[in-house]
Structure 1
């Protein structure tokens, strides 16, 4: 353990000062606090997300036959699937409050701007319907939500300090009315800029700012293929995006058509009992996230066993059940992993380690098969420890356990630093 102790001391000397400096930045603080504010939504909805996608087929069918699956999905659609909506308001609110301005107004102006920039029709031509796409209100809109929240809130704060732009009414006017009318001119100015910004994108091939951001992230990855290095690269980038609070759906979507085609192409070989043509690629894909993104189940279990601070022990207890079913948002936004420089190294490297172990397992002949039909039809909420048995066989359990232990060791020194910090704060 001497090496671990020395490494922990090195982290405390290098990353902790940087983490503290980052924590004093108003923008970073607002993003982090805003993400944490969405925790009641993500944790509350995680229960319904698990039930609506229950990994045991008879139970899932029973929910459908009872007619309650649609209502459970509606709860998820109205919460985590439109998370960008909550994020844009929460971050802008936190920024406004930290700037000694009206956080509610900052949040409302940012929320309105977000909807103004969003595509407002679904479908094309005569089939187009006036509606907001759930994709852009959810995972594909989070990066836009962060940008809009900070830019609009910061603009509101600066403009609100220009006295000529703030409407001042006599004291005889009720405070509720006067406070509502004070930012009227500022709101008009901000919305004019939002209108011009949206109009500018109307004349581009992207059409909207949302599509521009998604293409900016996904397009460079479209041509990298489905090789083992490509899969590892995509998931490392996904983890990096998560560290900045950006859902990596657009990045992973870049390789999913290739992965699915590999699974479909391997089905005939599997049914005939022949060698799977893309075994290395599919095995790496199966284990590149040993459980949720970043292999955070290892972090939670390890933290519950060795953690000393109440903050992390209590939070990990709450997050454990959703995490078992691959619902990672409570950990990402609540711990948080987002904008946490101490977690940057282990969270980023986790996919390289777990994917690398799977690759070696194929190379040495330990993993010899993969069931593509299970891979295609498996519910995403099925715990990876169980899923590995169905897709790879008993060997999958061994690989999963090896990865689980390695990721515990990876997270250990970094978590110890965080836990030590939390203990100091609790002792103050």
Structure 2
């Protein structure tokens, strides 16, 4: 678990912090289930960074139709193939081999979801006093059922897990582990021991019936989920059918969507995954309409991806104004990942997660960004976000490519400047509230 910054006692504060945020935070920190999720994120942080970098490598460098190699980008692919263009370039061995290499890296979303589910299953089995290895195997089996039922196509699988990955990992790990751990404690489901068998085999054999029930339940749940996803009862379909399509394009709805995403992240949950159904019902179709049908939608998936820049403002503010050397060092270390739109290290290392001091600016900054972005696009200062860009695209490049205009990057720069202004007073207040802790840290000799 990442180290948490020291939080002053409530006697030092007043108002909203003392009356609501701090008591809420203390209660949430006692929830062991949330602790298990946070520990899983922290344990998998190197994998998150590595898989995101591989995803960006596949999109930026290996994609034969991408911004570097593609003819609509810098056109390096045509240069490397001796001047091939159009259909001839797309049929070249270079194009096909580059596309194949990118497909190899196109499994990153599925892989991260699987790793998260396995580690979380281990943590939950320990929490619920179950057998860790068998619980992980139950979760892995559920995943194999699910992947087989979705699609054999790697690209389709990766696209499906791109938004739902964390939600599915949480769902499968929690349900399969909970069911197995509780069934394993029912004595009449245990098979009798056979003295001639090795101890390790007896241990697993006596859990045969709980395993059978868990795997059958997982298989039925997967089949039910797939049927639901492809029916009119799926949540995105119901939302799109029941709500006016113009409602999500109002600033109020967009701000509420962004508030929900960020608050879930503050809880230590992947807010983008939990709100993916709303995004799929409204903002993904708006993005597609802008790209292929000359749509006029302001709020799209790329708009909200561009708005993920807000944490970079906090990192800069801490690096400049924080009194603690540890926080400044942490900010500097996370700065490269934030530039590459990888926010998880900063979220869990500072931490932002369940930190009452930074909740208000963490919610306020993206909300103001949404409204300023709305005004800038509505007044014609910034073009619409028309083009789909890989979510792992670096900051500023993402805004530029998604709008097709340098003003997209300028909008992100304006957002960043505003975020620094919003976060700075809270960083300074944090310095004042933790002066005693700073003095104790300076007085305590550091161990080598």
TM-score (norm 1): 0.71
After superposition, give the CA deviation of every residue in 1:14-39 in whole Å (9 maximum; x if it has no partner).
43343233222222222222232321
Kept in 2: contact 1:242–1:338 (CA 8 A): yes
Pairing partner for 2:407 from 386, 392, 413: 392
Q: How does 1:222-371 map to 2 (within 5 A)?
A: 223=245, 224-243=247-266, 244-246=269-271, 247=273, 248-253=275-280, 254-259=282-287, 261-262=289-290, 282=298, 291-292=307-308, 295-307=310-322, 313=328, 315-332=330-347, 337=352, 344-359=359-374, 368-371=380-383
Deviates more, 1:320-329 or 1:226-235: 226-235
SS in 2 for 1:292: helix
Matched, 1:45 2:51: yes
Q: Deviations over 1:157-215 (max 9, x none)?
A: 2222223333463676434333333422211121233344445557x654589x84665
**1:24-423 alignment, distance < 5 Å:** 24-54=30-60, 57-58=67-68, 62=76, 65=80, 70=99, 73=102, 76-117=105-146, 120-122=149-151, 133-167=157-191, 169=193, 173-198=197-222, 200=224, 206-207=229-230, 212=234, 223=245, 224-243=247-266, 244-246=269-271, 247=273, 248-253=275-280, 254-259=282-287, 261-262=289-290, 282=298, 291-292=307-308, 295-307=310-322, 313=328, 315-332=330-347, 337=352, 344-359=359-374, 368-372=380-384, 375-376=386-387, 381-384=393-396, 387=399, 390-392=405-407, 396=411, 399-409=414-424, 412=427
- Verify the 8 A CA contact 2:382 2:411 in the aligned structure 1: no
**Structure 1 CA distance for aligned equivalents of residues 32 and 186 of structure 2:** 21
Question: Equivalents in 2 of 1:99, 1:423: separation in Å?
Answer: 39
Q: Quote the offset at 1:410 in angstroms.
A: 7.3
| CA distance in 2 between partners of 1:344 and 1:421 (Å) | 22
Q: Secondary structure at the match of 2:249?
A: coil
Return 5+ residue gaps in structure 2 as ranges.
1-10, 81-93
Is the alpha carbon distance of 1:184 and 1:222 closer, same or farther for their aligned partners in structure 2, counting shifts above 3 Å?
A: farther
CA shift for structure 1 position 93: 1.0
Kindly state the Cα deviation for residue 154 of structure 1 after the two structures are TM-superposed: 1.9
Q: How many residues align?
A: 400
The alignment's TM-score, normalised by the length of structure 2, stands at: 0.68
Equivalent pair of 1:238/1:251 in contact (CA under 8 Å): no
Q: How far apart, in 1, do the equivalents of 2:59 and 2:111 lie?
A: 18
The CA distance in 1 between the partners of 2:44 and 2:288, in whole Å, is 33
- Preserved CA contact (<8 Å) 1:92 1:149: yes
CA contact (8 A) 2:17 2:356 kept: no
- Does structure 2 retain, via aligned residues, the 8 Å contact 1:8–1:413? no
Q: Distance in 2 between matches of 1:170 and 1:420?
A: 65
Task: Say which is worse superposed, 330-339 or 186-195, in terms of deviation.
Answer: 330-339
Q: CA RMSD in A?
A: 4.8
